[in-house]
Structure 1
Amino acid sequence: MSLFETTYDVIVVGGGHAGSEAAAASANMGAKTLLITMNLQNIAQMSCNPAMGGIAKGQIVREIDALGGYSAIVTDKTAIQFKMLNKSKGPAMWSPRAQSDRMMFAETWRNMLEQTENLDFYQDSVNGLIFDGDKIVGVKTALGLEIKSKTVIVTAGTFLNGLIHIGEKTFGGGRAGESSSTGITEDLVAKGFESGRMKTGTPPRVDGRSLDYSKMDEQPGDDNPETFSYIETSPLTKQRSCYLTYTNKEVHDLLRDGFDRSPMFNGRIQSTGPRYCPSIEDKIDRFASKERHQIFVEPEGWNTVEIYVNGFSTSLPEDIQDKAIRLIPGFENVKFFRYGYAIEYDYFPPTQLKHSLETKLIENLFFAGQINGTTGYEEAAAQGLMAGVNAALKVQEKEPFVLKRSEAYIGVLIDDLITKGTEEPYRMFTSRAEYRTLLRQDNADLRLTPISYELGLASEERMNKVIEKREKTHKLIQFLEETSVSKEQINPVLEKKGLTPIKQSMKFYKIAARPQLTLSDFENLEALKEFIAAEEIDHIIIEQVEIHLKYSGYIEKEKANADKLNRLENVVIPQAFNYSNVKSLSYEAREKLTKIQPTTISQASRISGVSPSDISVLLVHMGR
């Protein structure tokens, strides 16, 4: 007999980054939600590096924030360093990244979740799913409880039949010090799901007091750090530095000596690891000609001496780890807190999902995070938020919420997973997005908050800030377009920059659009100073306007391309369409389309193996 008399609207299985965002989203949309996790002390724990954001990942965190998620707020409250990466490149490439205090991060997440209405918590392990035909109706726990729910979101991370490898030692576990989860995979496979295995790894943690930082290069944060969230979180007034050092030939030679005892090379690990975050042994094997690799020395928090050795992920035996790391400059007298390890776990190829992240085989069952073959906190959190929103919408009998590729990196992420699948841990890059000039980190609020507000997820405060930002940006653009400046006002600035002087008065926007100039170059121009003061224009608005002035041509071109694509998004493929009846399709196209069951012609066009001629056949078949 269940101790829980309530039938929940949403049960979230797992309290990692995906589970935490899923629980917050569904609860904030009014769904009665239960978060079940093995250990309530480890909610949203940073299992790997103590950082959020980075290339493309920073854009995702900003999108989560614009949609009303918690990740950006928690990051701002717990950051110990902030950097805007790729600032020397165009704004489409700018990517925020923050080091966080690991312990404070998990504590802050839990505090925010506990203050969320409609959200209950329960500490136990889910080891089974309850079905009624082709619908899910609840979960079974290790204590024998059966808890009923209208929808279930599985966010199991690396815990499904997890195996930890250190050298020749192998033992069950979801991560260091925590047991693996059994039963869920078996229930899903019995229902016809296809499963696979993936691998990831983590580096050693060491005692910072035992390191010699004088032999490393200091990596401080930005001089004027920003924040992740679009609401009023406080920027850092002090920061902790990271440090950079390098491996060398001696390190590589010693590591190679241990390859015969490495589970990666002796056949014990046969699953696929992340291509873009390889282990140190994988790096020296694949890039044998490189004499050194970067090692980033990252503090784990404000008040701890624990250090994360970024770049030294490994599953080699502990004695090899110990000897090799001491050959890295600054690590000669290192003391270990724990050794690096690899972990294998079950995942379910994401082509088995709808774009709402609901499974195709079982109604009301959603997957989010590493169970879908992704890697990274940010990718997991984004999926969790979207699954939470769609589970709540399913309960409310509303249409699912799906972001287009032209609307968000989150849309690119989910569309890639569903239409292309993945056979290795999927990581987001800016290069995966066709419309990266549209999908910048600075405008995620303008893109997504109005949508989120309509869903009831983003607050009125967030929406009002977006309206204010949009209006002030428009006013400043209008001012620059309408205001003329004389050569006497402008030429001193141009000459100082080594640019050709103007010969007559010009509209200000034509001058400001030049790539070599910024509005700060004209800070002494009286008309501009007065307008900025009168309208209370801040640096965020100025940045928006400068991007508009310099990149408006590129932005308009991408919008036009996106509009063309969206026309195909509107060509809906009937549910359970029988592709075998369309004999003009290639055999591969029929096979792939039947398996993935795309909902629109646009989605069909992105499936690997479906050619443009196949799309033409489908369009003709549907009277287009």
Structure 2
Amino acid sequence: MFYNEYDVIVVGAGHAGSEAAAAAANMGSKTLLITMNLQNIAQMSCNPAMGGIAKGQIVREIDALGGYSGIVTDKTAIQFKMLNKSKGPAMWSPRAQSDRMRFAEEWRNMLEQTENLDFYQEMVSGLIIENNKIKGVKTSLGLHIYAKTVVLTNGTFLNGLIHIGDKQFGGGRAGEKAATGITADLVEIGFEAGRMKTGTPPRVDGRSLDYSKMTPQPGDEHPEKFSYSNITKPLTHQRDCHMTYTSEHVHELLKEGFERSPMFNGRIKSIGPRYCPSIEDKINRFADKNRHQLFVEPEGWNTVEVYVNGFSTSLPEDVQFKALRAVEGFENVKFFRPGYAIEYDYFPPTQLKHTLETKLVDGLYFAGQINGTTGYEEAASQGLMAGLNASLKVQEKEAFILKRNEAYIGVLIDDLITKGTEEPYRMFTSRAEYRTLLRQDNADIRLTHKAYEIGLAKEDRMRRVEEKLNKTETLVKFFKETSVKPKDANPILEDIHSSTMKQPDKMYKLFSRPKITLDHMRQLPGVNDFIIDQNLDNEVLEQAEIKVKYAGYIQKEKNNADKLNRLEDIRIPNNFDYDKLKSLSYEAREKLKNIKPTTLSQASRISGVSPSDISVMLVYMGR
């Protein structure tokens, strides 16, 4: 029925599990993906969208590393937007609305076409662990399936409990049962567990809405795409989303159900996502606001089902219905299903190494919401990293770890294992201190060569990156070597109210001016001809423009990163005795003993470890 022993078993087939299984199998490991329902692979449990602020950068990074999320999103998108275009390129973030049903279908198709990957539908009810080493998993039918490594990506299913008003019932997602057994096994051998909460809005019938009372939210006029590969193409037509608002009347109707709300009557004790609060939480926390935005998002090309973004709630279904009918455009709304909250088990991520392998059990990896994160993108990136590292471990090769200055994925994982989290962790651009380096446009330049070296990214990906780099350098060199005369530049400079030129100068210097864009440069003699002759596409043009205009900022961030990375080279032995260092603060000593950082750089980022504590360790290590 199964191999005698798999290289990698992945438990759970959400976004984390799907990327983990794909990564492990593509790196040559015999992989088994076990899930409770094979019809729900990579299900979009909440909103039908990928990307967004900082999340879009993560999807681009997953794609650059050889993951599937970007390709699946492009193939199933119904709308594309580049957010924050009014700000600098470090803030630009791609986001796509997806066709929910096609998204899951495309994921399954791609996984089924992946070599080395087997599937099995059943609940994993326990783990086989011997001498603190993973040996396999146990299923609800009593089967023992053996493996060299196991990746747990259980999402919201571990002892999941769904709340709708004063009703509560076990479940990992609407219509699906919870998973039991794994938490008890892990706690028994010494893991610390906790509970978290998340929620989702009602789904409604789009035929019952009056869109004429709402504000259309179209996609970009010239949409881009997520994947750097040539497998996918940008959208040629798109579906609109819409926006409407709650009101004081809506808030009053919602407040009528507060005493029956599990959030306020004590039935929900766990913490939900701070940056995606429920509608009742928003009304409570932001009492001065008399309205809140609601984004009305279609679930696909052909379905009438609509997602009401901004109306996440666990209030009783009759209260949800009554309040939503008071929203402009929703006067005749029909429900497909009410919103609900769900509580589930997670394991504080300070119990992990940078590879996402657990410190307690050799060969056991955690990825996704089990680590206290929220969001498809955060989960998918962890799955990719856990899957590839499980495969590298089986192959007895060096672990693959991304630094904070190399990827948002590196920031995410370092934050989790160094700082931990007591509320669902969501990625933001503000969490990355090197965001000028970690842009969405250069993820392939940053990461594809790394993925190629470990065997995850294919050769055609590497060739595309090299071509992009060469063409970018060719254009930048052209600007550095070509002069522009005042008579050609000054009409443009006068038009944008910039000081005019008195004598000829290099185009590079002119292009470096704040208000000058590539469109301005293309008006100069020779520039457009050069771009056409060299067959330079929009990706190359964007890359060159950023390289010229932000050269100083980029170099400054690289210098800062290099300084901090020197501490990455100073490794802390596994058995380091912090009690010997009497000059360390008590808090630092306790935190360091608990987290067990592997380098001084990681130690310096632990909350409660001060610069003076790091100095003490530097002195002790003879630096």
Same fold (TM over 0.5): yes
Partner SS state of residue 130, structure 1: strand
Per the TM alignment, residue 144 of structure 1 is displaced from its structure 2 partner at its CA by 1.2
> Is residue 2:260 matched to residue 1:261?
yes
Per the TM alignment, residue 590 of structure 1 is displaced from its structure 2 partner at its CA by 0.8
Structure 2 partner of 1:537: 536
Per the TM alignment, residue 529 of structure 1 is displaced from its structure 2 partner at its CA by 1.8
Structure 1 partner of 2:593: 594
For residues 510 and 198 of structure 2, the distance between their equivalents in structure 1, rounded to whole angstroms, comes to: 51
Structure 1 partner of 2:272: 273
Matched letter for residue 83 of structure 1: K
For residues 214 and 526 of structure 2, the distance between their equivalents in structure 1, rounded to whole angstroms, comes to: 48
Residues 260-312 of structure 1: per-residue CA shift (max 9 Å, x gap): 00000000000000000000000000011111101000000000000000000
Contact 1:61 1:72 (C-alpha < 8 Å) held by counterparts: yes
> Is residue 2:256 matched to residue 1:222?
no
Structure 1 partner of 2:493: 494
> Is residue 2:370 matched to residue 1:366?
no
Partner SS state of residue 103, structure 1: helix
Alignment of 1:548-587 (within 5 A): 548-587=547-586
Structure 2 partner of 1:177: 175
Structure 1 partner of 2:441: 442
Structure 2 partner of 1:154: 152
Contact 1:198 1:424 (C-alpha < 8 Å) held by counterparts: yes
> Is residue 2:409 matched to residue 1:378?
no
Matched letter for residue 109 of structure 2: N
Matched letter for residue 41 of structure 1: Q
Alignment of 1:390-469 (within 5 A): 390-469=389-468
For residues 497 and 616 of structure 1, the distance between their equivalents in structure 2, rounded to whole angstroms, comes to: 51
Structure 2 partner of 1:473: 472
Structure 2 partner of 1:295: 294
Partner SS state of residue 449, structure 1: helix
Matched letter for residue 102 of structure 1: R
Matched letter for residue 76 of structure 1: D
For residues 55 and 499 of structure 2, the distance between their equivalents in structure 1, rounded to whole angstroms, comes to: 40
For residues 34 and 404 of structure 1, the distance between their equivalents in structure 2, rounded to whole angstroms, comes to: 29
For residues 30 and 47 of structure 1, the distance between their equivalents in structure 2, rounded to whole angstroms, comes to: 30
Matched letter for residue 82 of structure 2: M
Residues 340-369 of structure 1: per-residue CA shift (max 9 Å, x gap): 000000000000000000000000000000
For residues 351 and 3 of structure 2, the distance between their equivalents in structure 1, rounded to whole angstroms, comes to: 32
Moved more, 469-478 or 490-499: 490-499
CA pair 73-5 structure 1, distance change in 2 beyond 3 A: closer
Partner SS state of residue 550, structure 2: helix
Structure 2 partner of 1:103: 101
Matched letter for residue 132 of structure 2: D
Structure 2 partner of 1:16: 14
Please give the TM-score of this superposition, normalised by the length of structure 1: 0.99
Structure 2 partner of 1:191: 189
Q: 1:131 aligns with which of 126, 129, 132?
A: 129
Residues 82-112 of structure 1: per-residue CA shift (max 9 Å, x gap): 0000000000000000000000000000000
For residues 38 and 67 of structure 1, the distance between their equivalents in structure 2, rounded to whole angstroms, comes to: 28
Q: 1:68 aligns with which of 46, 66, 69?
A: 66
Per the TM alignment, residue 490 of structure 1 is displaced from its structure 2 partner at its CA by 1.3
Alignment of 1:75-114 (within 5 A): 75-114=73-112
Structure 1 partner of 2:45: 47
Per the TM alignment, residue 548 of structure 1 is displaced from its structure 2 partner at its CA by 1.1
Structure 1 partner of 2:524: 525
Matched letter for residue 507 of structure 1: K
Partner SS state of residue 91, structure 1: coil
For residues 167 and 382 of structure 1, the distance between their equivalents in structure 2, rounded to whole angstroms, comes to: 34
Residues 6-41 of structure 1: per-residue CA shift (max 9 Å, x gap): 300000000000000000000000000000001111
Per the TM alignment, residue 576 of structure 1 is displaced from its structure 2 partner at its CA by 2.1
Residues 323-345 of structure 1: per-residue CA shift (max 9 Å, x gap): 00011100000000000000000
Structure 2 partner of 1:140: 138
Contact 1:205 1:340 (C-alpha < 8 Å) held by counterparts: yes
Matched letter for residue 60 of structure 2: R
Identity %: 75
For residues 356 and 187 of structure 1, the distance between their equivalents in structure 2, rounded to whole angstroms, comes to: 22
Matched letter for residue 144 of structure 1: G
Matched letter for residue 376 of structure 2: Y
Matched letter for residue 338 of structure 1: R
Paired residue total? 622
Residues 522-568 of structure 1: per-residue CA shift (max 9 Å, x gap): 33434112211221111111111111111111110100000001000
Per the TM alignment, residue 182 of structure 1 is displaced from its structure 2 partner at its CA by 0.1
Matched letter for residue 574 of structure 2: Q
Moved more, 319-328 or 513-522: 513-522
Per the TM alignment, residue 227 of structure 1 is displaced from its structure 2 partner at its CA by 0.4
Q: Aligned-pair RMSD on alpha carbons?
A: 0.7
For residues 111 and 144 of structure 1, the distance between their equivalents in structure 2, rounded to whole angstroms, comes to: 29
Residues 200-254 of structure 1: per-residue CA shift (max 9 Å, x gap): 0000000000000111100000000000000111100000000000001011111
For residues 237 and 169 of structure 2, the distance between their equivalents in structure 1, rounded to whole angstroms, comes to: 42
Structure 1 partner of 2:512: 513
For residues 162 and 580 of structure 2, the distance between their equivalents in structure 1, rounded to whole angstroms, comes to: 48
For residues 335 and 284 of structure 2, the distance between their equivalents in structure 1, rounded to whole angstroms, comes to: 25
Structure 2: tracts of 5 or more residues without a match: none
Partner SS state of residue 81, structure 1: strand
Partner SS state of residue 66, structure 2: coil
Contact 1:493 1:522 (C-alpha < 8 Å) held by counterparts: no
For residues 606 and 495 of structure 1, the distance between their equivalents in structure 2, rounded to whole angstroms, comes to: 49
Matched letter for residue 520 of structure 1: D
Q: 1:213 aligns with which of 211, 214, 224?
A: 211
Matched letter for residue 608 of structure 1: S
Contact 2:216 2:243 (C-alpha < 8 Å) held by counterparts: yes
Per the TM alignment, residue 501 of structure 1 is displaced from its structure 2 partner at its CA by 2.2
For residues 25 and 527 of structure 2, the distance between their equivalents in structure 1, rounded to whole angstroms, comes to: 46
For residues 507 and 353 of structure 1, the distance between their equivalents in structure 2, rounded to whole angstroms, comes to: 52
For residues 289 and 6 of structure 1, the distance between their equivalents in structure 2, rounded to whole angstroms, comes to: 62
For residues 78 and 54 of structure 1, the distance between their equivalents in structure 2, rounded to whole angstroms, comes to: 16
Structure 2 partner of 1:608: 607
Per the TM alignment, residue 4 of structure 1 is displaced from its structure 2 partner at its CA by 2.1
For residues 599 and 77 of structure 1, the distance between their equivalents in structure 2, rounded to whole angstroms, comes to: 40
> Is residue 2:33 matched to residue 1:35?
yes
Partner SS state of residue 587, structure 2: helix
Matched letter for residue 33 of structure 1: T
Contact 1:18 1:380 (C-alpha < 8 Å) held by counterparts: yes
For residues 125 and 573 of structure 1, the distance between their equivalents in structure 2, rounded to whole angstroms, comes to: 40
Structure 1 partner of 2:546: 547
Contact 1:74 1:109 (C-alpha < 8 Å) held by counterparts: yes
For residues 101 and 52 of structure 1, the distance between their equivalents in structure 2, rounded to whole angstroms, comes to: 11
Matched letter for residue 306 of structure 1: E
Per the TM alignment, residue 512 of structure 1 is displaced from its structure 2 partner at its CA by 1.1
For residues 351 and 496 of structure 1, the distance between their equivalents in structure 2, rounded to whole angstroms, comes to: 56
Moved more, 504-513 or 69-78: 504-513
Contact 2:511 2:521 (C-alpha < 8 Å) held by counterparts: no
Structure 1 partner of 2:200: 202
Runs of 4+ in 1 over 4 A off after TM superposition: none
Partner SS state of residue 128, structure 2: strand
> Is residue 2:244 matched to residue 1:245?
yes
Moved more, 392-401 or 147-156: 392-401
Structure 1: tracts of 5 or more residues without a match: none
